[in-house]
């Protein structure tokens, strides 16, 4: 191989040293590549899984739900006297009355003006009994304005029979409820509320929310119908919000609760266990990345330490020729950086291939993709930079050792 005029001294020497120690170089590059492939694959897998879970959770619910605050009972003496008298009392928890959010129309306008909120949708939600012949099922009735609500939950995408058509005479029901009550599109369904009011509606669509329990319980109808069923003319018991950034939901929920006095539940709060699992996964992923990077770093350092020992005589000769300590330092730092970068490039290719294989072979029973994995170019770039920096940092101690070698001792070997 010929030295080109554009190649700097340190680059040429570092490359030749790596080329000469072929087996060592091959082993450490393979080690780094495996580490990087694990990082790339695991990160994409976990990100894919998380985004898949989040999507599944959020396709069935809003990001924030505003409800009327719960009524609480407090002993009177706490308000009447400022004394520290301790009174023994039993406080009975009050019944939660079914009531509308006060001034919900003006609140909607106010919420629509908040930059972090994308969609505001009012609803009336309550329990009723669905009756057909002798069969009956307890259901949750959600009365919505389709123009807003379909932006919260894209029901039109979940329809398996009929249409997502909500008008004054129609109702949408889940697949399980349809099966339980023997309903198909066009059939009539009677709903009875606790107050005795009844509605007779036509099933215009059957949906699948991807959850058996939800499919047997949830029903959707026009807001006016629900208001009429629950005797809440002009009212709304729930306001659903969709955020621009789903992960800001909890912060915004707290802000709104403070401003309005309403109960504001973010999707993070209502799915706390799921969110804890997501956090645990993220922490585990970070820990895996850290330990893989650590082992890659130690691998590079150990190989270079051995290389410095093996090449001490050559280092001595270079120093005798007038090569400076700085040049020797850079030769070994470059080797570390090159090992890191080379390993990362190969590792990224392996990781990408593994992701492709996953997408290709790991399928659901029906042949659909288990969940979409994305090969993130930002992650790839970060991995390359991090691996190179890890290589440089790992090479620092061996490089310093090489630069500090006494040429007399080094030449003597």
Partner 1 sequence: MTTTAQFQQNAVPAPVLQLTGIRKSFNLGQPNENEILHGIDLTLQPGEFCAVIGPSGSGKSTLLNTIGLLDRPTAGSLRIHGIETTSMNDTELTDLRGHQIGFVFQHHHLLSAFSALENVVMPMFGDAGFVTLAMQERATALLDTVGLLPWLHAQASHLSGGQQQRVAVARALVMQPGLILADEPTGNLDSKSADSVFELLRRVCQEHRTAVLFVTHNPLLSARCDRTIQVVDGQVIV
Interface ranges with partner 1 (CB under 8 A)? 3-9, 12, 16-17, 19-20, 313-314, 316-325, 327, 407-408, 411
Cβ proximity to partner 1: between 22 and 84 the closer is 22
Minimum CB–partner distance for residue 323 and partner 1 (Å): 4
Cβ proximity to partner 1: between 197 and 404 the closer is 404
Cβ proximity to partner 1: between 15 and 46 the closer is 15
Cβ proximity to partner 1: between 3 and 385 the closer is 3
Residues with Cβ < 8 Å from 123, sequence gap 6 or more?
142, 143, 144, 145, 149, 223, 226, 236, 237, 238, 239, 240
Instruction: Report the alpha-carbon distance of residue 52 to residue 373 in Å, rounded.
Output: 9
Q: What is the dihedral of CA 399, 401, 407, 413, to 10 degrees?
A: -110
Minimum CB–partner distance for residue 410 and partner 1 (Å): 9
- Using a 10 angstrom Cβ sphere, with 0-12 exposed, 13-18 middle and 19 or more buried, the burial of residue 335 is buried
Residue carrying the six token digits 């005798």: 320
Minimum CB–partner distance for residue 406 and partner 1 (Å): 8
Minimum CB–partner distance for residue 30 and partner 1 (Å): 21
Q: Which among 329, 327, 333, 346 has a CA at the least distance from the CA of 394? A: 333
Cβ proximity to partner 1: between 205 and 316 the closer is 316
Cβ proximity to partner 1: between 284 and 320 the closer is 320
Q: What spatial distance separates the first Cα and last Cα of the chain, rounded to whole Å?
A: 28
Minimum CB–partner distance for residue 400 and partner 1 (Å): 15
DSSP letter for each residue of 223-291: HHHHHHHTT-TT--SEEEEEESSGGGHHHHHHHHHHHH--EEEEHHHHTHHHHHHHHHHHHHHHHHHHH
**159 sits in which H/E element:** strand 159-162
For residue 146, the tally of other CB atoms under 10 A from its CB is 18
Cβ proximity to partner 1: between 270 and 310 the closer is 310
Minimum CB–partner distance for residue 299 and partner 1 (Å): 22
Cβ proximity to partner 1: between 253 and 318 the closer is 318
Minimum CB–partner distance for residue 311 and partner 1 (Å): 9
| 340: its two tokens | 């890191």
Residues with Cβ < 8 Å from 260, sequence gap 6 or more?
66, 107
Instruction: Report the alpha-carbon distance of residue 407 to residue 190 in Å, rounded.
Output: 96
Cβ proximity to partner 1: between 397 and 411 the closer is 411
Minimum CB–partner distance for residue 343 and partner 1 (Å): 21
Minimum CB–partner distance for residue 318 and partner 1 (Å): 7
Alpha-carbon 57 to chain mean position: 11
Instruction: Report the alpha-carbon distance of residue 34 to residue 350 in Å, rounded.
Output: 8
């Amino acid at each position: 191989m010929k030295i080109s005029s554009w190649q700097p001294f340190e680059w040429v020497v570092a490359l030749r040293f790596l080329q000469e120690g072929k087996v060592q170089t091959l082993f450490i590059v393979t080690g780094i590549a495996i580490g990087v492939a694990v990082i790339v694959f695991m990160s994409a897998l976990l990100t894919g899984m998380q985004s898949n879970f989040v999507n599944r959770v959020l396709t069935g619910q809003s990001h924030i739900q505003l409800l009327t605050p719960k009524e609480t009972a407090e002993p009177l003496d706490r308000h009447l006297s400022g004394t520290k008298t301790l009174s023994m009392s039993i406080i009975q928890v009050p019944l939660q009355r079914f009531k509308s959010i006060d001034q919900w129309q003006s609140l909607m306008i106010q919420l629509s003006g908040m930059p972090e909120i994308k969609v505001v949708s009012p609803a009336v939600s309550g329990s009723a009994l669905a009756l057909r012949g002798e069969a009956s099922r307890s259901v949750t009735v959600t009365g919505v304005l389709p123009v807003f609500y379909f932006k919260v939950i894209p029901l039109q995408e979940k329809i398996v029979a009929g249409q997502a058509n909500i008008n004054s005479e129609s109702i949408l029901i889940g697949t399980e409820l349809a099966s339980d009550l023997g309903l198909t599109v066009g059939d009539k369904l009677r709903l009875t509320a606790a107050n005795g009011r009844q509605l007779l509606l036509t099933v215009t669509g059957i949906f699948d929310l991807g959850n058996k329990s939800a499919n047997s319980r949830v029903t959707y109808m026009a807001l006016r119908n629900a208001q009429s069923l629950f005797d809440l003319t002009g009212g709304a018991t729930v306001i659903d919000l969709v955020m621009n950034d789903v992960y800001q939901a909890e912060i915004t929920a707290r802000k709104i609760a403070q401003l309005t006095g309403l109960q504001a539940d973010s999707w993070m709060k209502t799915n706390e266990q799921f969110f804890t699992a997501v956090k645990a996964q993220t922490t585990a992923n970070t820990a895996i990345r850290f330990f893989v990077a650590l082992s890659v770093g130690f691998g590079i350092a150990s190989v270079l330490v051995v290389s410095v020992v093996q090449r001490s005589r050559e280092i001595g000769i270079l120093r005798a020729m007038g090569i400076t300590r700085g040049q020797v330092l850079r030769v070994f730092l470059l080797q570390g950086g090159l090992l890191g970068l080379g390993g990362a490039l190969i590792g990224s290719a392996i990781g990408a291939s593994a992701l492709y294989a996953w997408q290709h072979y790991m399928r659901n029973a029906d042949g659909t993709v288990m969940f979409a994995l994305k090969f993130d170019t930002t992650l790839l770039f970060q991995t390359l930079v991090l691996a190179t920096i890890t290589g440089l940092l790992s090479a620092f101690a061996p490089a310093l050792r090489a630069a500090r070698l006494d040429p007399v001792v080094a030449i003597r070997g």
